[in-house]
Chains A and B, each alone.
Chain A
């Protein structure tokens, strides 16, 4: 205790920190005071603008340590925390840091003890400052101003909680090195012109520009990237507390986005409502339900739904495209010209129509009215996919061993994708439930062909049906 004589016992010292974020100044004074053995309760630390301590008027001439005074110990970790904690707006921070330096001389590892109240306070200050800095990096919003020389100048207004402006100048300089920018805050301002950084006095919100055309784009982006089906307001608020909202252009949209989310999701859910109900449990239930189905526009035409028919446990399911004019009138599948043609060919192949379950990929007849005639129109991929729900429900109940799809639409109804007839014809495609799919042409196609082309396709059609018959026999054996 060689420096003891320098200390007038009972004396109070007031240290006036010139700038609220001046770590170097604090460190210099703290080192001297510890070297002179001035205990923490004898020092008042004040910063500009503070009302000061009761004892602040005390002796301001600080003691000077001996030249051979012992070095001061402070852990690396403490210094890095302290450098940040100094930026906090808590007026007690300098005293806290001094107390910790003081204690480290006798308890060198004190800052490792995270149950110690001073250490916990230090960590809290550090954490608050880091958070504030992080929010500054995130929430500074520049607005573009055209200067008289035609150059673009980007100006932001930000309200930090702590004295972090100067400490974060480097971040913005590294990021926007080749841009002219200013950050205005109530605690001071920063100006970068592309080569030098200038500091200025505190500013007011009115000093910053009021709008920027890019904000409309940004708000559009913000509103569009939000998924109303996942509303989690709490999660947003914990990361973007309301106090920051007033300076974020996009935040003005939040109340409406939240208010609208429920109805937007309700609409999406309603659109998919049929999917939310369970599959019908009987073929009769499907029959009743498809008559009510308005999931696609075809259901709303002047037509009736046509249910598949055949034994519930049929080994073969034949799927066509959609009912035609006559099927619609009769309410039964494959009774028109194409149906009669089909009947002929399957009979030739040795398949009994009554033993097969015959249905369509799409349950309603799609047509355009031309005078008295209803002209067949092919269903779109979307319509086939929508109707796939019913076809799959039928498949789940009938559980055929083989599904024979007539034409590309029928194949899509089973597979969910459009396949090329040339590629898939003539060989089975395994399905998830263990059954297999065979694809051939639609008999209506044969009806439209003449001459050699008809001969050729008819032969192919007969060949495909024969292959299915053979496979069926193999499976049943």
Chain B
């Protein structure tokens, strides 16, 4: 082990981090390095500096401090009983790598996570130390996301929040039963307790900031979490329900979904096959509907099938519309913003364009075509002065007409 080079460690510890879905670097306080001695800036919008062939954005140096772990969670490649190669960075090494990458404009900052070594507190201390080196010794003003360890001392989590832009605590599995089975060393109540603690600290820091100009910032980009999809039997309805409870209870910025992917050296308890990636996509779409389109969690659940899962061939918005056809067609000239947002194929941007444009003229189908991307999908659900879908909306085979042609979505589709 002592003979491992930084390059070898990076190879192992970045590989171990590739199952983490989050790579966001946006929504934090604006910072720049003018007037400082170090470097870095955050300007609201995060920047994806590269894309991997898995289509995912790379905006942060996403690594584990170590992939040694005293826990034995079955879905996790780093669990104690796994045979993966192990490595361990020192806080200084991670700080140096971050700075070296940042100077070359490869990244927006650091996303640090870790296997648990010795104890939760020891591990959390090492993570906080990494952030401290960056912020205090190098005056680093880029983005830092720390994945906190629920079992760690709240005081350590408080320190982490003072250095980090974002904290996250993974709930890992959508149901307590799944957690008990697949992460026997973890405790759902402890995880939610830690989230609650972080929420309180964020709220208190915001409150203090209002009253005292120099009150320290605490995780200005908020907290997020991640759920693994498809490792246990939880349905999409279960998952959406869990996510919405988490949003409500802990005011999370984001809930990330990570489709369970086959891991080398998999545990024998793991499921039959990996869920199609499209399932993860449908969950993100439903998340989007709740956050930006005014859908209630219950409405998303209404869009699921008998098995509690969202259809894979069509998006959740279309699925909902097909179930509630009596709500359509809507008249684009008169409908409210909320009604327009429910039309499959109309995004937030297109709706705002329509709202502005209809002040100036009576909208024809041609005009709608110019304001949107896919008229074909929208047509059955709208009325314009020169278009009325009458029969189309009621056709029994509407779903087949609107669903995309079958294509092979994955390499090893069952």
Contact = CB atoms under 8 A, between A and B. Distances in A.
Given A113-B361, A174-B41, A387-B268, A226 B17 contact: no
Interface stretch (B57-65, B238-246, B312-320): B57-65
Contacts of A212: 104
Contact of A417 (B15, B184, B272): B184
Nearest to B54: A230
A38 to B, nearest CB: 27
Contact of A385 (B11, B81, B353): B81
B291 interface: no
A234 interface: yes
Interface string A366-395: 000000000000001110011111001000
Contacts of B277: 230, 232
Interface stretch (A61-69, A175-183, A441-449, A463-471): A175-183
Nearest to B60: A225
B98 to A, nearest CB: 11
Interface string B263-304: 111111111111001000000000000000000000000000
A226 B103 contact: no
Contact of B185 (A231, A386, A417): A417
Contact of A218 (B101, B177, B181): B101
B266 A232 contact: no
Interface stretch (B43-51, B164-172, B197-205): B43-51
Contact of B54 (A156, A226, A269): A226
B370 A432 contact: no
B197 to A, nearest CB: 26
With most chain A CB atoms within 10 A of its CB, the pick from B19, B53, B72, B263 is: B53
Contacts of B211: none
Interface residues of B, number: 82
Given A114-B357, A226-B18, A235-B51, A214 B101 contact: yes
A138 B7 CA distance: 24
B33 A225 contact: no
A275 B271 contact: yes
Given A232-B277, A240-B51, A382-B82, A141 B104 contact: yes
Contacts of B97: 217
Interface in A242-298: 248, 250, 254, 257-258, 261-262, 265-269, 271-272, 275-276, 278, 295
Contacts of B51: 235-236, 239-240
Interface string B381-414: 0000000000000000000000000000001100
Contact of A224 (B10, B177, B412): B10
B249 interface: no
Contacts of A380: 81
A120 B40 CA distance: 36
B188 interface: no
Contacts, number: 227
Contacts of A295: 268
Contacts of A240: 50-51
A134 interface: yes
B36 to A, nearest CB: 7
A115 B370 contact: yes
Contact of B55 (A176, A234, A266, A387): A234
A261 B410 CA distance: 12
Interface in A388-404: 388-389, 392
Nearest to A265: B411
Contacts of A176: 33, 39, 103
A54 to B, nearest CB: 32
A273 to B, nearest CB: 10
A299 to B, nearest CB: 13
- Which range contains the number of A residues in contact with the other chain? 35 or more
B360 A220 contact: no
Contacts of B259: 230
Interface string B250-263: 00000000010111
Contacts of B182: 416
A55 interface: no
A109 to B, nearest CB: 7
B360 A269 contact: no
Contacts of A220: 7, 10-11, 14
A415 B272 CA distance: 19
B135 interface: no
A248 B356 contact: no
Contacts of A416: 72, 74, 181-182, 184, 269
Contact of B53 (A112, A226, A385, A392): A226
Interface string B360-372: 1100000100110
Choose among A218, A269, A271, A389 the residue with the greatest number of B CB atoms under 10 Å from its CB. Answer: A218
Contacts of B14: 220-221, 224-225
A278 B360 CA distance: 62
Contact of B47 (A137, A222, A268): A137
B90 interface: no
B37 interface: yes
A78 interface: no
B126 to A, nearest CB: 20
A175 to B, nearest CB: 4
B105 interface: yes
A133 to B, nearest CB: 11
Contacts of B72: 381, 416-418
A369 B413 CA distance: 45
A177 B277 CA distance: 42
Given A177-B34, A382-B81, A217 B356 contact: no
B33 A218 contact: no
Contacts of B81: 380-382, 385
A227 B50 contact: no
Contacts of A167: none
Contacts of B55: 230, 232-236, 239
Given A234-B55, A240-B50, A174 B266 contact: no
B39 A177 contact: yes
Given A216-B7, A388-B269, A115 B104 contact: no
A156 B277 CA distance: 37
Given A179-B103, A232-B277, A235-B51, A385 B267 contact: yes
A175 B31 CA distance: 9
A230 B261 contact: yes
A141 B370 contact: no
Interface centre among A179, A220, A432 (most CB of B within 10 A): A220
B359 interface: yes
A98 interface: no
Interface string A139-166: 1111110000000001010000000000
B263 to A, nearest CB: 7
A25 interface: no
Contacts of A223: 11
A174 B53 contact: no
Contacts of A385: 74, 81, 267-269
B80 interface: yes
A221 B53 contact: no
B104 A218 contact: yes
Which of A230, A231, A233 has most B Cβ within 10 Å?
Answer: A230
A268 B262 contact: yes
Q: Which 5 A-B pairs rank lowest in CB-CB distance, beginning with the nearest?
A: A235-B55, A232-B55, A417-B184, A174-B32, A224-B14
Interface of B: 6-7, 10-12, 14-15, 17-19, 32-41, 43, 47-58, 61-63, 72, 74, 80-83, 97, 100-101, 103-106, 177, 180-182, 184-185, 259, 261-274, 277, 353, 356-357, 359-361, 367, 370-371, 411-412
7 contacts: A112-B360, A177-B39, A226-B18, A227-B19, A232-B277, A233-B53, A381-B72
Given A262-B411, A381-B81, A417-B185, 12 more contacts: A114-B371, A171-B41, A177-B35, A214-B101, A217-B101, A220-B14, A225-B52, A268-B263, A269-B412, A275-B266, A385-B81, A385-B267
